[in-house]
Amino acid sequence: MKPGEKKYPHIFSPYRIGKVELKNRIKYGSTETNFNYGDGFVSDKEVAYMEAQARGGAGIVTTQGAFTDPRGEGKGYVGMMGIWNDEFIPGLQRITDAIHAHDSVAILQLMHCGRVGGIELDYTVGPSMVKQKIRRFREPKEMSVEEIESCIQEHIDGSRRCQEAGYDGVEVSGIVGYLISNFISSYTNKRTDEYGGDIVGRATFMRKIVEGIRKQVGPDFPIIIRLCGEELLDDRGGNKPEESLEAIKIAEQAGIDCLSVTAGWQESAVSVISRDIPMGHWLYIAERMKKNLSVPVAMAYRMFLPQLAEDAIVEGKLDIWEMCRPMIADPNLPNKILEGKEEEIIPCMACNICLARLFRDAELDCFVRPSLGHESEADWGFHGFSGSQEKKKIWIIGAGIAGLQTGAVAAEKGHDVTITDKADHTGGQLAAASHGPGGDDEFMRLVDYLEHRCKQFGAKIELNKAVSRDEVKASEADVIIVATGATPHIDVPGADLPHVVSCLDVFEEKAKVGKKAVVLGDSGAAIATALLLLHRGGHEVSLVGKAKKPGQDVNPSYIWRYIKKLRDESAVLVRNTKVKEITEKGVVVDTPDGEQVIEADTVIVAHMKPNQELSSAKKRIYTIGDAITPRRGSGAILDGVKMGMRL
């Protein structure tokens, strides 16, 4: 018995969907990648990515959604797979083969993106013309009954191709604003014909698809459906949870074998999958489904830890542990849990960079795993880095995430690695940021993972040791890497006054902050500081900066809620200003309306300046991470991996 089977007996017990046997209860959930060709044909990159997901040990591996219509109305992502013609079958078959090679169950997802589709068209389609709230999407056209019927048939034809391509089952996506959810929701379906009206009418489109597919694929071929358990669209007339449940019951009667339940739409004005939602928060929805249905229930959404899933299964809240982002971050997650190597799992930070890239028509990307999309390229080390022929002595100065990441890769390659940091802990700025509110303590999972990897491969970590230029000059290391990060700095008169403090010290509670707090800066660091102070309470916070909008570096799926939170909690955003001077009373700024004084008991500097002093101590020194130029954490990890690859 493997350690994981002992620790999580339910997750690793065999299970079944319909008549299909699963080796465990882990499902890699469908995720778009934008890795495929623009005409919908499967690319080598996609096959390598899916192979990695299957190799990682999940019982079920679901492909990304494939669009079913030749017009491209259902296509919501530029690199989305197509399944509207038999010509796609050979490519889709390559994915099936890759999944079957690792003894996993291969499920193909059919997806029509509805009002968030038509990526290459100047319109989208939907049950009714309901104006878009998100600028990216084009206005929907109301579908005629003929169009609806041919759309249903296209789904059925898709299921036939799925079966012909060798898949073990088919999944239909009807979540987050895709076509089926548009029909089911009272927010987007205003029809008065048989496809609209009450929830039974609104679910007709979905029911006909499921019934049609069942007729096509036969009784033994599993059909999974992804539906919303709660739309979280109360502010714009979406379904009530009871209506969502009613629609799901209709799906069950229509012949599904498994439900994958979700929460929220892309248009929902509340957090759903970001870090501020505690892990396991949405489980109550799965529990409600379990109580009302007899088919197995799967759920993803902020369930990153196996214990949560194990407990949920034991408590009868869940049958299948589904994951998207945690397995984008580490496809080997199931096997690592099974083998009792949980500390080796690359932890997802719920940063949503993956989503942000998809919405910008770019390929999927990951903060914590730069090898994403490079699974077949040995240099990127997805399957491990092979030993270097020449063993070098490598000295990394700075144990922030860039330094640790380089150290981990270099040590895995067999180099003699020493990482030195002046602080008494590893993690640098990320460790400081982990004191922030809204789930930011999860940042320590990444720091701990990186530190574990360094130690696992024998890298030495020296703490409490400041390094001087002379020491660098005198060093006999073959390679010196400066990863000293950045520190808050502002170059104005008065910056050395006692009430001027660093944002990092505020995070680590090394600096006291008075009632009136002024944060200087434009970046995410400044916003995070303001949010932290509001969370601690007792402060009047102003955010003062040069840029028109703060947080240009922050992921779009986080920035709107950050700004909303700042506004809701009456933080004052002072923009388009230049700091002239800091005085004992406050901050003197130049604004378009002339000079102003912003009163402050404490001035917090969040302008980050690279620490490059050691970079010029001698020739041929490498500089990585924020020590080159301050960026987000993803930049530090990317630098760290790239640096490691070159050693």
Partner 1 sequence: MVPVIDAFRCDGCGICVLRCPPQVMGTVKSIAVIITDLCEECGICAEVCPIDAVRFKLPHRSYRSTDQAYKALPR
Residue 119 binds partner 1, judged by CB under 8 A: no
Query: Is residue 471 a contact point for partner 1 (CB under 8 A)?
Result: no
Footprint of partner 1 on 588-647 (CB under 8 A): 628-629, 631-632, 634-635, 638-639, 642
Instruction: Tell the smallest beta-carbon distance from residue 632 to partner 1 (Å).
Output: 7
In sign, the C-alpha dihedral spanning 59, 64, 69, 70 is negative
Would you count residue 23 as binding partner 1 (CB under 8 A)? Answer: no
Nearest alpha carbon to residue 16 among 242, 215, 208, 258: 258
Q: Applying CB under 8 A, which part among 83-91, 403-411, 593-601, 611-619 lies near partner 1?
A: 83-91
Find the shortest distance in angstroms from Cβ 35 to partner 1: 8
Considering the complex, state which of residue 356 and residue 423 has its C-beta at the smaller distance from partner 1.
356
CA distance 396 to 404: 8
* Binding segment (CB under 8 A) for partner 1, from list 30-38, 254-262, 267-275, 567-575: 30-38
SS (H, E, C) 523-582: CHHHHHHHHHHHHHCCCEEEEECCCCCCCCCCCHHHHHHHHHHHHHCCCEEECCCEEEEE
Q: Should residue 6 be labelled a site residue for partner 1 when binding is judged by CB under 8 A?
A: no
Which region, left, alpha or beta, applies to residue 562 given φ > 0 means left and ψ of -120 to 50 means alpha? Answer: alpha
Cβ closest to partner 1, residue 459 vs residue 624: 624
Tell me if 253 contacts partner 1 by CB under 8 A: no
Q: Is 76 in the site for partner 1 (CB under 8 A)?
A: no
Residue 177: which residues within 8 A CB-CB, separation 6 or more? 113, 114, 115, 116, 188, 265, 266, 267
Q: Does 90 bind partner 1 (CB under 8 A)?
A: yes
Smallest separation, CB 553 to partner 1 (Å)? 4
Residue 545 interacting with partner 1 (CB under 8 A): no
Closest C-alpha to 412, from 459, 368, 380: 459
- Asked if 34 touches partner 1 (CB under 8 A), the answer is yes
Which positions ≥6 away from 133 have C-beta within 8 Å? 236, 267
Question: Of the listed pieces 33-41, 126-134, 484-492, 569-577, which binds partner 1 according to CB under 8 A?
Answer: 33-41
Which of 5, 7, 41, 269 binds partner 1 (CB under 8 A)? It is 41
Is residue 567 left, alpha or beta, with left meaning phi > 0 and alpha meaning psi from -120 to 50? alpha
Letter for the amino acid at 335?
N
Among 311, 343, 361, 508, binds partner 1 (CB under 8 A): 361
Tokens of 420: 């030195």
Q: Are 546 and 592 in contact (CB under 8 A)?
A: no
356 binds partner 1 (CB under 8 A): yes
Alpha-carbon gap, residue 259 to 296, rounded angstroms:
6
Residue 38 in contact with partner 1, rule: CB under 8 A: yes
Distance CA 371, CA 14 (A): 31
**Nearest approach, Cβ of residue 243 and partner 1 (Å):** 37
Phi, psi of 633 (to 5 degrees): -60, -30
Per rule CB under 8 A, is residue 78 in the interface with partner 1? yes
Assess 458 for contact with partner 1 (CB under 8 A): no
Residue with smaller CB distance to partner 1, 165 or 297: 165
Instruction: Pick between residue 88 and residue 265 the one whose CB is nearest to partner 1.
Output: 88
Of all helices (H) and strands (E), which one includes residue 60?
Answer: strand 60-67
By the rule CB under 8 A, 46 interacts with partner 1:
no
CB of 644 to partner 1, least distance (A): 14
CB of 383 to partner 1, least distance (A): 22
- Contact at 8 Å (CB) between 544 and 589? yes
Identify the sign of the CA torsion 11, 12, 13, 19: positive
* Cα–Cα dist 402/387, whole Å: 21
**How far apart are CB 87 and partner 1 at their closest, in Å?**
5
Contacts to partner 1 by CB under 8 A: 34, 37-39, 41, 43, 78-79, 87-91, 356-357, 360-363, 365, 552-553, 628-629, 631-632, 634-635, 638-639, 642
